[in-house]
Amino acid sequence: MNSVTSLNDTELTTHDLRELTNQMVDRMLKLIESCSDAEVTQEPEDPEANDPTAATEAELNMPWTLGHVIVHTTASAEEAAALAAELGRGVEHHGRSRSEVPWRTVTAIQQCRERLEESRRMRLASLDMWPDQPYLDNTYTPREGVPPINCVRRFLNGLKHDESHLGQIERLTSKGK
């Protein structure tokens, strides 16, 4: 799989986004294939841990476990997919659409695998919501200085976010040790 970052979103189709989604989830599953339950909840040493969106102040500088990374990446990609489907259907951007499994409830490697497969199913299903001719000119600007985002770019941003966590997932597994 090529880096998602290098892809030209103006040339991507829903078929391409399906393939990229399957490749990404397969890649994540491969990274965790030999993990044990203990690796899911093992808290790594990470002196640079900083989560400005942490739920509590105590979690602000808490290193992320493998389970935490898996639920975070899947929630982000699912949000991107849901918003992309709306943009593709011509719906004006209205804000976030995020739901994240409570990471502390993910304590077994099978839960990580199931979460990844569930996320794959949800992301692929969102592409079924796109019209045959998506509204590619329906865009929004997430913040000043960022180019406008359409449905393809929004979906792709979820995959880019996944990709940005691959090294972290590898470091948290026996493969990365």
Q: Model confidence over 51-106: pLDDT tens digits?
A: 777 778 888 888 899 999 999 999 999 999 999 999 999 999 998 888 888 899 99
The more confident residue out of 152 and 177 is 152
- pLDDT at site 175: 63
Quote the tokens at residue 140.
């929004």
**What is the pTM assigned to this prediction?**
0.91
* Number of neighbouring beta carbons within 10 Å of residue 147: 9
What mean pLDDT value characterizes the chain?
Answer: 91
Report d(CA 116, CA 29) in Å as an integer. Answer: 7
Instruction: Report angle CA 83, 89, 93 to the nearest 5 degrees.
Output: 40
Report DSSP state, residue 132.
S
pLDDT of 1 higher than 70: no
Strand partners, 140: 149
CA distances from 165 to 31, 46, 121 (A): 11, 15, 20
Quote the tokens at residue 32.
């965790």
Report d(CA 150, CA 92) in Å as an integer. Answer: 11
Quote the tokens at residue 141.
């600007």
Which region holds residue 95: left if phi is over 0, alpha if psi is between -120 and 50, else beta? left
**Residues in Cβ contact with 54 at an 8 Å cutoff, skipping those fewer than 6 apart:** 60, 62
